[in-house]
Amino acid sequence: MAQSSFDLDADIVELTPFVPGADATPVVPLAELAFRSDAWLPDDTLHLRTAFADDCTIEEIAAKLGRSRAAVATRIHDLGLRRNSQRSWSDWDDEEMARCYAHEPAATLAARLGRGVSALYARARLLGLSEPGSPPYSGWEDAQLRAGYAKGVPVAQIASLIGRPFAGVIARASALGLRHACQPDDWSDAEMNRALELAATGSRYVAIAQALAAEGFPSRNSRSLGQRLRKLGYGRGWGRPWTAEEDALLRHAYATGASLTPLRERLGRTPHSIRWRAEALGLRGSHVRRDGFRQGPVWTRQEEARLRAEYGRVPTREIAEALGRGVRAVLYHANRMGLVHGFMRAFSADEDKAIRNAWLHGVSMVDVAAALGRDPAVIGKHAARLGCRFTDPARPRRGPKTRRANRPPVTLHSLLTLGSALPVDIDLPRAA
């Protein structure tokens, strides 16, 4: 019968009850014991279960039964009772958290406090507590792990239920020899043949697993399905090195202008794998369908010419709006064309000299940025690397100020010619 995974409700605190010591078999006969006045009678246990189910605090239960808080907490732990309490946290709860959180499993401490594991973790975060290590697994945690794997509960939800990391749950299940219900090992020949047929259509592993379950085969997750298909020799080219024959076939497709879709199916490669191999072989742009790998409208030569002329000089968002494309599409295509943004290109020796001259002669950073075609923030950062901070109070100042409209335009050539009239009493700062 096919088993399928299911999601847990938010109010579930355990998958199966667990009573400590219930599965232990005594090796010697039990001796008769004298009756104790503080023994737990059946009526006391019934009252305890009822009050615990009504979400009474442990102090209230202890007052009703005339027992100490520690005795009630111990009895609750011995009975394996758990709940998601909605009561406010008391000072005693916080003190117990601070004392035991780093030394006991979260599931054990949650049972003693009558709380859920998730509520315990949330309270520990509010109190600033942390776990220095990983405590050993308790019997209750192992019981939930076995029940969850048998019922097909997702591993991530089991980890959240018992308060353990995802990787730790998988490692513990492996140590216990458990196999998840969504990963049964009873693969039949009919199921494997049908899985290979569906994989040949190019469907995703998730869709293949759903199709197999709809046809009456066991429900499996995509990971187990992928592992089985790879064991059968099926692969989709991920990480597989390219052979000389595949390279020759790819070159032939580019030379003849053939469609690349049959090539992907024949080689078992993804579109990204073929594109990257074509770039490595220097075939980029040589196919007649040069934009065959991308979706959306094809870039025209007029659009590319405009992009080449404005990229780095006009804000990318304005270019995208003018071309009717997204900003990311403009950035990707500029990268494919080998364009480098003006704000990101390396500084030349002439630009470094122009920045030093501007610093010495009191030219503003905004004028320097306009002359070099860069962002003022980029100029300021690079000038600081050269040791010429434009915000330095000791920087030489320009002569009598004139209106910006009356000043001659600042260009790279004008900044370079300023070096012929350096003040004699000023030393050029050195780069940091």
Condensed to tens digits (0 to 9), the pLDDT of residues 16-35 reads: 777 666 665 555 665 665 66
Amino acid 431: pLDDT: 47
Q: Is the pLDDT of residue 85 over 80?
A: no
In a domain, 4, yes or no: no
pLDDT tens by residue, 249-271: 888 888 887 777 777 767 777 77
Q: Is the pLDDT of residue 428 over 50?
A: no
Give Cα 352 to chain centroid, integer Å: 41
Lowest-confidence segment of 92-96, 278-282, 416-420 by average pLDDT: 416-420
Amino acid 412: pLDDT: 83
In a domain, 165, yes or no: yes
Q: Are residues 244 and 272 in the same domain?
A: yes
Average pLDDT of span 406-421: 76
Q: Are residues 134 and 144 in the same domain?
A: yes
In a domain, 62, yes or no: no
Mean pLDDT score across all residues of the chain: 77
Pick the more confident residue, 240 or 391: 391
Amino acid 29: pLDDT: 64
pLDDT tens by residue, 165-203: 788 888 888 888 887 777 666 778 888 888 888 887 777
Q: Are residues 103 and 144 in the same domain?
A: yes
Pick the more confident residue, 342 or 89: 89
Residue 68: pLDDT band by 50, 70, 90 thresholds? confident
Backbone Cα Rg of the chain:
36
Q: Is the pLDDT of residue 280 over 80?
A: yes
Q: Are residues 93 and 171 in the same domain?
A: yes
* Domain of 360, in residue numbers: 349-421
User: How far apart, in whole angstroms, are the C-alpha atoms of residue 5 and residue 219?
Assistant: 8
User: How far apart, in whole angstroms, are the C-alpha atoms of residue 224 and residue 191?
Assistant: 13
Q: Are residues 163 and 127 in the same domain?
A: yes
Pick the more confident residue, 37 or 322: 322
Q: What would the 3-class secondary structure string for 197-240 be?
A: HHHHCCCCHHHHHHHHHHCCCCCCCHHHHHHHHHHCCCCCCCCC
In a domain, 180, yes or no: no
Average pLDDT of span 148-169: 81
Amino acid 424: pLDDT: 39
User: How far apart, in whole angstroms, are the C-alpha atoms of residue 86 and residue 205?
Assistant: 42
In a domain, 5, yes or no: no
In a domain, 55, yes or no: no
In a domain, 211, yes or no: yes
Q: Are residues 278 and 308 in the same domain?
A: no
Q: Are residues 96 and 137 in the same domain?
A: yes
Q: Are residues 135 and 163 in the same domain?
A: yes
Q: Is the pLDDT of residue 223 over 80?
A: no
Tally of domains within the chain: 5
Average pLDDT of span 2-22: 64
